[in-house]
Amino acid sequence: MNRAPTLEVQGLETTFFLKSGPFKAVKKISYSINAGETLGIVGESGCGKSVTSLAVMRLIDNPGKITGGKVFFEGQDLLTLSENKMESLRGSQIAMIFQEPMTALNPVLTIGQQIDEQILCHEKILASEAKVRSIEMLKLVGIPSAEERYSAYPHQLSGGMRQRAMIAMALCCKPKLLIADEPTTALDVTIQAQILELIQKLQKQFNMAVQFITHDLGVISEVSDRVLVMYGGQVCESAPTQELFKNPQHPYTAALMNSRPRLGSRPDRLQTIEGTVPAPHEFPKGCPFANRCPRQTAECWTELPPVHQFGPDHMAACFHPLAEGK
């Protein structure tokens, strides 16, 4: 008997209501993540990755609203829960690691106070027991002299140590779903590798479902079982990780891969994707990538692209996928 996915998103849509008019930041996207699995979400800044995750957590602030779809966590639709029930799930069963710990951590509270607060908010235990658990979590995420770091303030830790403290806080209640929003972007390469290894190790230990957001395809190839490529608030391609890297079908996916530096190759210039991600009100009516795509034709500007299947779990929304040749 197949178990239901830990997270299942169906037709999720978010809209921001501005003075200039409403715009859809996320447009009817669907995906699922099983226990112990990592789904990578990749795309340039402004493609809707973080808004998608904030919508799953029900943390979209005004003027934004979730305007469609369903978000099932272990079979219950999060979008129908009361705010009190949702608050009880956040931090306990669904946790989030943010990109920049210096803005996510409270500068006037010690690391220990912040982890204790998370535990005491969700579990009926004594403060002394919470302290013991907090120090255990700091040790688990590889922070040396955990008893001393427990009493330290965020500014007294290095960037890598702050991120480890954020991970300890996120995982202190052993959540079933972890959303990691570009957790290694602000770190140097060595620390980045350590943090990625740590997240993977703890995922196996707790059998968590992980939603990992990044713009770095190198990171995606290391951590993800499956990949969702987003552009313009839409899913343009999704596939198992190895399949996506061997056989990209959407021109945007291929362009992202071609813009990466490669070992053993020393070109004069790296390839780039022409242009920039448009402002929300400037996207074409048809395919959102039409104004930057080398394969675009007239229909790409006016009609939504069809979804093609290239295998059991591989889809791309494109009028002219790479399999066509040209």
Provide the pLDDT for residue 325: 60
Structure confidence at residue 104 (pLDDT): 83
Identify the pLDDT of residue 267.
66
> pLDDT (tens digit, 9 = 90+) per residue, 230-278?
999 999 999 999 999 999 999 999 999 987 776 666 666 667 788 888 8
- At residue 183, the pLDDT reads 85
Residue identified by tokens 């699995």 is: 37
Q: What is the pTM of this model?
A: 0.91
pLDDT tens per residue across span 196-240: 898 999 899 999 999 999 988 888 998 999 999 999 999 999 999
Low-confidence ranges of the chain (pLDDT < 50): 1
- Predicted pLDDT at 159: 85
Long-range CB contacts (< 8 A, 24+ apart) of 84-92?
86/58, 88/122, 90/57, 91/118, 91/121, 91/122, 91/170, 91/173, 91/175, 92/122, 92/123, 92/173, 92/175
pLDDT, position 1: 41
Let me know: does 123 contact 111? Beta carbons within 8 Å: no
**Is residue 292 within 8 Å of 273, Cβ to Cβ?**
yes
